[in-house]
Amino acid sequence: MVLEHLFPENWLEKKIRYAFIIAVVYSTLGIIVARLLFGANSGIVSVVFTSLLLLPYLQKLFVKEEKKEEKEKRFSLKELWKDNKVAIKVYMTLFLGIFFTYAFYSFLLPQLGFNTFNIFKEQLFVDPALRGHAFGYGTFLSILSNNWWVLLACFLIALVVGNGAVFFITWNASAWGTLLGYRALTAAWYSGANPYWCLLVIFVITLPHLILEGGAYILAAISGSVISDGIIKKSKEVKAFIQYAAVGVVVFVLFYFTYKIIIGTTSTVTFSLLSIVIITGLIHLIGRLFKSKKHKEVFIYNYNLFIIAIIVFAIGALVETFVLNYSGILNDIYYYSFMFR
């Protein structure tokens, strides 16, 4: 694509702040192009365009991360951070750039006379209140359960198609940004408050848990991408990996149907918690098939990175639970937003 040459590929490595500029520019281009070419589904298409534009930059980063980990003698948290800090910082900066871009447009465009639903329909319909369902404050376990599947999807998609998980991360950043920008504006319109004050309050209160949850998705995506690009595509055991993965899928499917027959439904927190244990265990077993020492080292590092992602995501769910249940001012803004029609 011509657009991917707007910025040099080494920009992200030279200055992390450039990642924010790239995210803002490509998100804006994605929104404009998607609106012009795919008006009916511009929300989701803008995410696809943005993700495709970011892929060349991320691919180069992950090749370097894998080479660093091949050289490590033994696992340590210090070395894990040292080897992945550039990728983590770049991904997080891109995430925040996309988040603030979508929040800005969902907040500003309605004030200029544009219909937000026509532009960001898919992002706004993530909100159950906008789909006609009642809004309820989630408990820690229900939030953990719901977000676990997104985290797993980021890891598995990255594992199968390398940097493909950037789509999930871009989607989450766009959905969160759009929803918060829209809620701030509509709450202000309904209550008569200053919309910029509402936006500031939402950002200050929600950003900590959004950064934790977004960071967890990023760690999972980095883990899966490095394993995919650095091991699976280069290892002679790729056929064995596919066979092991197939067995793992069969084991999980059997667990799924057994649980459903016994309990009657899989829409439970217990099912999600058991899934976390079973899937992380299966991934650990699959890693045993690699014979090459350097491949083993890369796998160990990135398997531990995935475990850290789960821990970070659990902390994020805990913070989100606290915010939703104890932040009166945020609840008021959300209430006024839900009352706006």
Residue 111's closest CA among 35, 32, 199, 27?
199
CA dist 218 and 91 (Å) reads 7
Radius of gyration of the chain (CA): 21
> What ranges in the chain are assigned the alpha helix state H?
11-14, 17-37, 42-70, 77-108, 116-119, 121-124, 140-161, 166-191, 195-227, 238-263, 269-286, 293-326, 328-339
pLDDT tens digits for range 243-291: 777 888 888 889 888 988 888 877 777 888 888 888 888 888 877 776 6
Residues in the chain, total: 341
CA angle 293–299–305, rounded 5-degree value:
140
Secondary structure (H, E, C), 80-105: HHHHHHHHHHHHHHHHHHHHHHHHHH
State whether residue 227 is helix, strand or coil.
helix
- Collapsing DSSP to helix, strand or coil, 16 comes out as coil
CB-CB contact of 106 with 182 (8 Å) = yes
pLDDT score of 119: 85
Q: Phi/psi at 63 (nearest 5 deg)?
A: -60, -40
Q: Which pTM does this prediction carry?
A: 0.85
pLDDT 10s digits, 197-256: 999 999 999 999 999 999 999 999 888 887 776 665 555 667 777 777 788 888 888 988
